[in-house]
Amino acid sequence: MTTRPPVARSRTTWQRRAVLRAIETAPCHLAADEIHRRLQRGRRRIGLATVYRALEAFVREGVVESVHIGDGRVRYGLAARHHDHLVCLTCGAWEPLEECPVPAASGGLPSGFAVTGHRLEVFGYCARCREADR
Amino acid sequence: MTTRPPVARSRTTWQRRAVLRAIETAPCHLAADEIHRRLQRGRRRIGLATVYRALEAFVREGVVESVHIGDGRVRYGLAARHHDHLVCLTCGAWEPLEECPVPAASGGLPSGFAVTGHRLEVFGYCARCREADR
DNA sequence: TGCGATTTGAGAATCATTCTCAATTACGAT
DNA sequence: ATCGTAATTGAGAATGATTCTCAAATCGCA
């Protein structure tokens, strides 16, 4: 039998459970500091660095996905509830997109590449801003 | 006849021409500091802040598009040469995608939203990393 | 229960990006 | 060609998100 090199296993801590629960119960994708702020409401404190480490681990494991809506911070949501976003270039407001056009596209990929996910943001101008700009 | 409020007009400076030329002549999307570094090779120096301001102006005008491949920095490319990217989660390597699946998707948009563009990154594992990981 | 590897917390460090402000420059009008 | 004025620039400071450091606390298998 072969001996495997000791692989770093991910551990379950109450901090990681709390981070995951915050993401699960959120209405939409959250930034790291938003997650951190929500967790301060609990009785036990969690460090911001721990939140970042938990997010990194969850993303690596494929449980959580990250999105960039355009302000400078990364937001996180459950991969199982994947959705893309529509972002207004004027006011910065964003909202989930109902349909996801990407999975259908499997053409044009180099052979041997195994797709696990994607990140899509659609840009434009929302009705409100177009109205205000007339 | 109506009088329009004085709108800030964008001016053409040799700095902005240089930034745009750097993007035009690049083989793929560039980060701000990569553009800045390339421009240092010329005889006249350009400040990094100026590069950022030029990029901001070009993006606002729709001449340049930005992408986020996942390391912490934003990259820029000509909007007229739009393409999405394929990113390896293991090694971080990225390459342009041939086909763009997004324009076809017009369903699920809220009425009144005018789409001007999008940003898409497809994630997964490249052939080389899958090979090395066996 | 005991031990070793992983995780945590707090703050320092890093890194990309934005801001400040005085000096310079573009460009429509004269 | 020259003016006047608002836009732009450069250098460095400031900001803000994210990552790193390291000793102490924990997790989970033996």
Could you report the per-residue pLDDT of B50-73, keeping only the tens digit for each?
999 999 999 999 999 999 999 999
**Which residues have a Cβ under 8 Å from the Cβ of B27 and sit 6 or more positions away?**
none
Of A89, A101, A127, the CB nearest to B101: A101
d(C-alpha A84, C-alpha A60), whole Å: 19
B68 close to A (CB below 8 A): yes
CB contacts of A125 in chain B (<8 Å) are 113-114, 116
β pairing state of B85-88 and A64-68: unpaired
Which chain C nucleotides are covered by protein, judged by CB under 7 A?
Answer: 5-12, 15-20, 25-27
A99 pLDDT above the threshold of 90: no
Interchain proximity A127–B111, CB inside 8 Å: yes
CB contacts of A7 in chain B (<8 Å) are none
pLDDT per residue as tens digits for the range A32-91: 999 999 999 888 999 999 999 999 999 999 999 999 999 999 999 999 999 999 999 988
Strand D–CB A49 distance below 7 A: yes
Q: How far is CA B119 from CA A11, A83, B70, B115, in A?
A: 34, 14, 13, 12
Q: Pick the residue from chain A with its C-alpha nearest to B131.
A: A112
Interchain proximity B110–A95, CB inside 8 Å: yes
Tokens 């990407």 found at:
A102
A2 pLDDT above the threshold of 50: no
Strand D–CB A74 distance below 7 A: yes
B62 close to A (CB below 8 A): no
Structure tokens at B62: 């729709």
Residues 82 through 111 of chain A touching chain B, CB cutoff 8 Å: 86, 88-89, 95, 97-102, 104-105, 107-111
Taking CA B56 as the corner, what is the angle to CA B4 and CA B70, rounded to the nearest 5 degrees? Answer: 145
pLDDT per residue as tens digits for the range B109-130: 888 899 999 999 999 999 998 8
A104 pLDDT above the threshold of 70: no
Position B31 scores a pLDDT of: 98
